[in-house]
Structure 1
Amino acid sequence: MAAGPGDMGAGNVSVPPDPAERRYRELLEHSPDPMCVHADGRVVYVNPAGVRGIGARHADDVLGHLITDFVHPDSVAAMLARIAILQRAGDSTEPSEAVMLRLDGSPVDAEVVSVLTSWDGKPAYQVIFRDLTLIKAAQATLRYQAALVTHATDAIIATSFAGTVTSWNQAAETIYQRSAARALAVPISEAVGAALDPAVIAAGGGVEHATHYAADGTELNIRVAVGGMDDGYVVVCSDHTALRRAEARFQTIVDSLDDGVVVFDSHGRPEWVNPAARHYLGFPPDGTVPNYATLTALSPLCDIDGTPIGGDRRPIAKTTNSGVAIRNEIVGHDRPDGTRRWLSVCCRLLDPGGSRQSGVLLSFTDVTEQRTAQIQLSHQARHDALTGLPNRAYAEAQLSRALQAEPPTLGAVMFVDLDNVKTINDAFGHHAGDTVITVAAQRLRSTLRTEDFLARLGGDEFVALLFGHLDRSAMKRLTDRLHAALAMPMDVAGTLCRITASIGVAEVGPGDPRDTARILRDADAAMYKAKTHRAATHYADH
């Protein structure tokens, strides 16, 4: 059985994760993508899909190993270089190819993404990898198929009007394993091992596909083309046996991919869709392919900011118009059931070296779970776990941006300190104190204006960025409402309690020379004076 998200392996003592981290670990546990987490260079977690992907029987076979034990030596330096640039929780590397190693040492071509995260409070790296073996095999098959079509030699056979063979070239000898001496002057049907009437084929359009048989009984898939001559017919027999086998092999590989694959013609019309794409996009089960208008209606897209993508901004249109391949572009897809899934889309010309009339190959992978995990990590890094409000780092970043905005819109910075939380902690315990802080945060947020920004700095301290012009009378009305909201009784451990707050205000005007740290210090100092002088609100000196 794979180790659970909280199981760090024998000999390690782990701190129970907080609820947010527990939800994050549950997300990793149920992801279909192979994932692991490494900290200080060693694997501390691997999900069930990762256990299977690495060729292990149990998670314990992997935990504790150096992460480099599972990376080919030629790929280690590039991996270390990629993760070295990750600075903040939630930062991720671009998808890149690497050679991974299974537990038995066998190599695996993979696409790898690393995400800076935390594990039991320590910096760590989440690694998501996707096996590219089937995709590489499909690419090899396509190259083989292209070479076969380019270099194939056709059997060219001449017959009389009655269908007797009058000419049999060397390619015919090779394809049918029958020498010219054995083929000349015999009916063509006998020479190719199957019924073939040149007159009927010529009258019916000149082309047919048929099964012929070589002299040793080998079944051949043949494309027959017939043209008339003065004294009979010329029959061109193209041996598509190997091509059909290659196509069947390619079809099997592409049909087995979890990635969706769609082929478009040069006008953007879908021509072929693999089962994964057909299922994901909800195409009709009868095998038909919708036209472009229907496909567009079935596949509304948006960018990572939620802005709809249409017209020339859709991946197919961009590649068709420019010829430039698109690799791993993240787009949102709104499904008919109302859910939004996130896709990593690749798009390239089928014949990049040919004419501008090339078709386009589009493939996509559902990366919703991965993106959701990244969003959660980013949110956790910027928000307070208890109240859900932005944290100190987020507040300082917002204040810095507000000071640089043109035109300036920041009117004041307010520092709020709850006065008697410690008394409640001492009387009822820290759980009661957490309840007071949570309720106070809700009251502050609901009393402030919509355009204002509220964050928890830590403990019982909050900061608010007030936007727009506020004169002293307007500021007094706002602070009076805040004091009144906080003073309303609240139920704490079955007892009605009241809390008060000390508020310090640092007013900010156009061209204010102070930086972020100075303004916060001034607001904090004003709050301290309000508390010291038992005044509800105090304004910082200019």
Structure 2
Amino acid sequence: MHNSHETSHDSGISTSTAAAGASAASFRGLSESSPYAVLVHDRGRVVYANAAAMSLTMAESAEQMVGALITDFVHPAAILSALTASGDSGQASAPVMSVLLRRDGTTLDVEVTTVPTPWEGRAAHQTVLREMTRPTSVHGTAVDHEMHIRHAPAAIMTTTVGGVITGWNVAAERLFGRAAFDALGQPVRETLGVELDLAAVAAEGRARDLIGHTVTGAAVPVRVSVAEVDASYILICTDRTDAHDTTQHYQSVVTSLDRGIVVINRDGTIASINPAAIRILGPGAGRFPSTHAERALDYPVFDTEGNMVPSPQRPANITLRTGQPVLGQVLGLRRHDGHQSWISFTTTPLNPHEPGRSPVVMSLTDVTTEHLTALHLRHTAHHDALTGLPNRARTLAMITAAMTPSDHPRLAALMFIDIDQLKRINDSFGHHVGDLVLQACGERLQGAIRATDTLTRVGGDEFVVLVAAPASASDLHQVAQRLHHALENPVVIDMHTITISASIGVAGVDPTRPTTPTDLLRQADAAMYQAKATGLGETRFFSVHTATARHRSDTAARHSYTLPEHRS
């Protein structure tokens, strides 16, 4: 007799997903060729339906059945009776008459038989439905059943109560290398090459993983399910070698992914983490498996606005708590080594059919380059390339936001600043020098305004100051004086000493006389022209007289929407 290794799989311990899938695949192959409707249900919910079941219930696809209650199709009394009759013994229940409710609302008389069935490492139940109006004969059914078992993809054996082989299909011949005529009449321990307590396995209602042996003595890792039917046993064996190869392939694929993959258990501990996730999360991430995620992933996390994201609002915890997926949420991550990156998080339940009980799969993609590029493009779209100040479009948006009616006014006035004689500077020294002069003016003006005010560039030689409320007339005069003072000292560029000054127009916000952002900007522009008309380096405040004079100047038309590029 060969040495053997036998392991009992408790339903509370999850086995390899790939191995369980291989076992389920064998069962599906067996069931799909059955002429009878087969439904597998776990804790009352359908987890599998064969083609005959879909046809009988008039379902268009398995998705319409999987996840539904078995009692949505079969009367609860019949299911309860069948479950009670089958119990945990592994034996099939006696047939129970019932009524099947189809998806179109019609009903059929059916015969219901239920037997405990292992499903993906758990104790489930298989219910077989036979339409009572279906013509059958004892001989025909027996022949169909025999052919069905003979050519099933899984190794199927039948034995006496004492464990003597009475049936041995083609798949069993392939798996154990033993022809049917050599197996029939032999004890299970000889044909499978392993000791197996059939009654005990049938009573457990769970599959066992063990090492069988071929006729030549080669080891065969198999998973065996046993059911007692009519004073005999039926054994279904699946080859775990294929399942192991599938698992290895799955692990190789996950390991080679550029995307980080972290599986988090229901208790918050990390079940697995691939190399890409370790690379993204930092050098210490390799110690994460079996560590609680709250401790292992205790990094500062912030959103795209820079706000810290508390632990309960992070993607994995949201999915663990609600069962709902979080897709592609971009968050900032500051690792313990000081490295800061932007990560796209996607978290989904590992088992979408039981989101409230399922572990969570978290995928991580480093999108730092893409995010920073997007930020740069967004900044470029709203800021002047020469000075780095907000541009004209951004200026109008900020004025509009600041003038939105509220209990606390945010804008006191606009100051329109025009650099005097910039055209002469460009003509005398070249546009390169003119650009450097504008940069110097921007830096000096920025240093002269209050911390609550905002400086922008709206045209070639034009700047605007948004003066924040509150600001009195005296405050506005003081701000204007500081702006003039900031430009008093000449600018030295390429050995050239260049004197600069500015004309400033001021338009205050009058709550009693509502105006639009564009009109307010025009008013400040008109006041600036009045200042320029009286000499260099002057300031004027907007008034009705100023507006009238500005209108007569015949240049208001070109300021209706697009601001001018240069003034001398």
Q: Does structure 1 conserve the Cα–Cα contact (< 8 Å) formed by 2:165 and 2:188?
A: no
1:175 aligns with 2:186: no
C-alpha separation between the residues in 2 aligned to 1:169 and 1:142? 23
Aligned to 2:477: 476
Within a 5 Å distance, the mapping from 1:38-187 to structure 2 comes to: 147-148=24-25, 151=28, 170=169, 172-173=172-173, 175-179=175-179, 181-183=181-183
Matching of residue 266 in structure 1 with residue 143 in structure 2:
no
Conserved? CA contact 1:155–1:238, under 8 Å: no
8 Å CA contact 2:331, 2:345 repeated in 1: yes
- Whether the 8 Å CA contact 1:198–1:226 is kept in 2: the answer is no
Q: Deviation per CA, 1:361-420: give whole Å up to 9, x if none.
A: 111211111111111111111110110001001001100111114121210000001113
| CA shift digits 1:414-473 (9 cap, x unpaired) | 000111322222222211111111011001111101111111112111011001122222
| 2:494 pairs with 1:493 | yes
Q: What amino acid sits opposite 1:536 in the alignment?
A: E
Structure 2 CA distance for aligned equivalents of residues 287 and 514 of structure 1: 60
User: What per-residue deviation string (whole Å, max 9, x for no partner) do you get for residues 70-114 of structure 1?
Assistant: xxxxxxxxxxxxxxxxxxxxxxxxxxxxxxxxxxxxxxxxxxxxx
Q: Which residue of 1 aligns with 2:416?
A: 415
Note the C-alpha offset of 1:301: 2.2
SS of alignment partner, residue 371 of structure 1? helix
Map Cα deviations across residues 145-166 of structure 1 (whole Å, 9 max, x no partner).
58527648576687999xx866
Q: 2:272·2:289 contact (CA, 8 Å) conserved in 1?
A: no
Gaps of 5+ in 2: 1-17, 30-153, 228-232, 545-568
TM-superposed deviation, 1:234: 11
Distance in structure 1 (CA, Å) of the matches to 2:286 and 2:361: 22
The match for 1:302 is 302
Partner residue of 2:525? 524
The answer to whether the aligner puts 1:441 opposite 2:442 as a matched pair is yes
Tell me the secondary structure at the aligned position of residue 268 of structure 2.
Answer: coil
Give the secondary-structure state (helix, strand or coil) at the position aligned to 2:540.
strand
Q: CA contact under 8 A between 2:322 and 2:356: conserved in structure 1? A: no
The aligned length equals 392
Q: Distance in 2 between matches of 1:469 and 1:286?
A: 56
Q: Determine helix, strand or coil for the equivalent of 1:451.
A: coil
Query: Match of 2:25, as an amino acid?
Result: L
Conserved 8 A contact 1:149-1:243: no
Of the structure 1 ranges 169-178 and 343-352, higher mean CA displacement relative to structure 2 is found in 169-178
**Relative contact order (C-alpha < 8 Å, sep 6+): which is higher?**
2
Equivalent residue, structure 2, for 1:541:
543
Identity of aligned residues (%): 34
Change (3 A) 1:160 1:518: closer
2:277 corresponds to which residue? 277
Pairing 1:332-343 to 2, within 5 Å after superposition:
332-343=332-343
Q: Which has the greater radius of gyration?
A: 2
Match of 1:487, SS?
coil
Deviations 1:94-140 (A, max 9, x none): xxxxxxxxxxxxxxxxxxxxxxxxxxxxxxxxxxxxxxxxxxxxxxx
Contact persistence 1:428–1:493 (CA under 8 A):
no
Q: Which runs of 5+ in 1 are unaligned?
A: 1-140, 228-232
List aligned pairs for 1:431-470, cutoff 5 A: 431-470=432-471
Q: Is structure 2 residue 364 aligned with structure 1 residue 364? A: yes
Task: Tell me the distance in 1 between the aligned counterparts of 2:346 and 2:27.
Answer: 27
Check the 8 A contact 1:273/1:289 in 2, yes or no.
no
Aligned to 2:53: none
Q: Deviations over 1:44-75 (max 9, x none)?
A: xxxxxxxxxxxxxxxxxxxxxxxxxxxxxxxx
Give the whole-Å Cα distance in 2 for the aligned partners of 1:326 and 1:287.
22
Report deviation, 1:300: 3.4
Q: 3-state SS of the aligned residue for 2:357?
A: coil
Contact kept? 1:265, 1:359, Cα under 8 Å: yes
Distance in 2 (CA, whole Å) between partners of 1:465 and 1:530 is: 19
Which moved further from structure 2: 518-527 or 258-267?
258-267
Separation of aligned partners in 2, 1:395 and 1:516: 10
Counterpart Cα distance in 2 of 1:249 and 1:292: 27
Q: Which amino acid aligns with 1:540?
A: F
Q: 1:237 & 1:150 partners in 2: Cα distance? A: 10
Residues 287/469 of structure 1: CA separation in 2 closer, same or farther (3 Å cut): closer
SS in 1 for 2:253: helix
Distance 1:306 1:449 in 2: 24
Q: Which residue of 2 aligns with 1:34?
A: none
Q: Would the alpha carbon gap of residues 453 and 512 (structure 1) be closer, same or farther in structure 2, given more than 3 Å must change?
A: farther
Equivalent residue for 2:69?
Answer: none
Q: Check 1:524–1:286 CA distance in 2 against 1; reply closer, same or farther (3 A cut).
A: closer
After TM superposition, give the deviation of residue 262 of structure 1 in Å.
1.2
How far 1:314 moved relative to its partner? Answer: 1.2
Q: Which amino acid in 2 is paired with 1:240? A: R
Following the alignment from structure 1 to structure 2, what is the Cα–Cα distance between the partners of residues 389 and 379? Answer: 10
Paired residues of 1:148 and 1:243 also in contact (CA < 8 A): no
| 1:312 to 1:511, Cα distance in 2 relative to 1, 3 A | farther
* Aligned-partner Cα distance in 1 for 2:543–2:272: 72
Which residue in 1 is equivalent to 2:552?
none
Q: Which residue in 2 is equivalent to 1:317? A: 317
Instruction: Name whichever of 414-423 and 443-452 sits farther off.
Output: 414-423
Cα distance change on mapping 1:156 and 1:293 into 2, 3 Å = farther
Tell me if the contact between 1:414 and 1:463 (Cα under 8 Å) persists in the aligned partners. yes
* The 10-residue stretch of structure 1 (148-157 or 265-274) with the greater mean CA deviation from structure 2: 148-157
TM-score, normalised relative to structure 1: 0.64
- 1:261–1:483 Cα change, 3 Å: same
Contact 1:452–1:464 (CA<8 Å) still a contact in 2?
yes
* Aligned-pair CA distance for 1:500: 0.9
SS of the residue 1:308 aligns to: coil
Cα distance, 1:288 vs structure 2: 3.9
